[in-house]
Amino acid sequence: MVTIADVAKAAGVSPSTVSYALSGKRRVSAETRRRVERSVLELGYHPNAGARALAGKRSHILALAVPLRTDVYVPIMMEIATSVAVAARKHGYDVLLITNDEGPDGIRRLAASGLADGVILMDVELDDKRIPTLGDLRTQAALIGLPDDPRGLSCVDHDFSAAGALCADHLADLGHRDIAFIGYGSGIYRRHAGYAERTLAGFRARAKERGLRFLHRPCEGTYEGIAGTLGRILSDRPHTTGFVVQNEGAIGPLLSLLRTSGRTVPEDASVIALCPDHLAEQHAPALTAVTGPAKELGRIAVEQVMSRISASTRGEQPTDELVLLTPTLTVRESTGPVPEHSLI
């Protein structure tokens, strides 16, 4: 193993000079810096992480708490996780994976052992049990997702309320009057997942403003689930011409079933999805969709913890941030003007 002493010897300087040359925390002459950097490269020196953490009081590691659930759309979770890792690297940080099955204790352990300088919580629920734990520890944290009470925390999330409103507006603009909102399985609403509730609230409010009638139907993402739900929607409100879908698993079956029931999209029925663009484009017809920038979520969460960490290092009080990212509507082939005559 090559240590800082080896580099120092090779460069003909003292260990502390090597340390400063690498950290930049003290001015070093251009000449010595060059020699140090050369030796570092030649010897393939990498500072020992343990020693660095012990002496420097910073592990340069961020903990990322990922959900173990399968009822959320996993690819997005993965995308966020990797964007966190990439963003962290830009700050010289590595990312430690922590699963929810350890619960709050895992976070406590990482914080108390000094393994992680900060924590990023994904898939935060409105009333998340992990949040109180964060208060006890002096670990810095950022949440992806919006809790009931974000005081004392930094959070970033999509503006799901705005996303819901965008859907209502788009359908209203096209002249639709009877809308069905097909949501996630009822378990998600029972769990008070913020994104589901806020989307619905945003949609509901705007729908009211625009004079839309609508049904909200939670729905499992299975073929049978959608079949039953759609059947009931069409019998309860036969004049429904607009569908908002916030349930990745429901999209495919819904399109199939509409076709089967003799409805052509978008001529007879319009479908607008709340889902990533790559999914929207995978279907036929390609779906008009409302999307938020998933990668930004990770990047911003990292910025937030990093800024909190450096504030607390300077002995300052970290400032709480709340960032909501504006979603965008992309019009594709699945939405169109309301039909003149309804089918039934």
By beta-carbon proximity to DNA, the closer residue of 48 and 100 is 48
For residue 162, give both structure tokens: 């705005």
Q: How far is the CB of 91 from its own copies (least distance, A)?
A: 14
Q: How far is the CB of 112 from DNA (least distance, A)?
A: 9
Which of its own copies, DNA, none binds 326 (CB below 5-8 Å, type-dependent)?
none
Which of DNA, its own copies, none binds 15 (CB below 5-8 Å, type-dependent)?
DNA
By beta-carbon proximity to its own copies, the closer residue of 201 and 227 is 227
| Distance between CA atoms of residues 221 and 92, nearest Å | 40
b/e sequence 328-340, b meaning 16+ C-beta within 10 Å: eeeebebbbebbe
Q: Is residue 1 a contact residue for DNA (CB under 7 A)?
A: yes
Terminal Cα distance for the chain, rounded: 78
Which of its own copies, DNA, none binds 214 (CB below 5-8 Å, type-dependent)?
none
| Distance between CA atoms of residues 233 and 252, nearest Å | 17
By beta-carbon proximity to DNA, the closer residue of 21 and 200 is 21
| Distance between CA atoms of residues 153 and 139, nearest Å | 11
Any idea which residue has 């994904």 for tokens? Answer: 122
- Phi and psi angles of residue 97, each rounded to the nearest 5 degrees, phi first: -85, 130
Contacts of 208 by beta carbon, 8 Å cutoff, 6+ apart: none
Q: Note the residues at the interface with its own copies (CB under 8 A).
A: 1-2, 44-54, 59, 61, 64, 66, 68, 70, 74-75, 77-78, 81-82, 85-86, 89, 94-99, 101-102, 108-110, 112-115, 221-224, 227, 249, 252-253, 255-256, 259, 278, 281-284
For residue 199, give both structure tokens: 């989307």
Which of DNA, its own copies, none binds 223 (CB below 5-8 Å, type-dependent)?
its own copies
Beta strands in the chain (DSSP E): 61-66, 94-99, 118-121, 140-144, 154-158, 178-182, 213-217, 242-245, 270-274, 288-291, 322-325, 328-330
| Distance between CA atoms of residues 306 and 301, nearest Å | 9
Q: Is residue 256 a contact residue for DNA (CB under 7 A)?
A: no
For residue 169, give both structure tokens: 């507006």
Which of DNA, its own copies, none binds 22 (CB below 5-8 Å, type-dependent)?
DNA
**Binding pattern for the stretch 13-32 against DNA, x by CB under 7 A and - elsewhere:** xxxxx-xx-xx-xxxxx-xx
Which of its own copies, DNA, none binds 4 (CB below 5-8 Å, type-dependent)?
DNA
Decide: 319 and 302 in contact? Cβ < 8 Å: no
Query: Contacting DNA (CB under 7 A), which of 38, 42, 51, 149?
Result: 51
Residues forming contacts to DNA in the complex (CB under 7 A) are 1, 3-5, 12-17, 19-20, 22-23, 25-29, 31-32, 45, 47-48, 51-52, 54-57
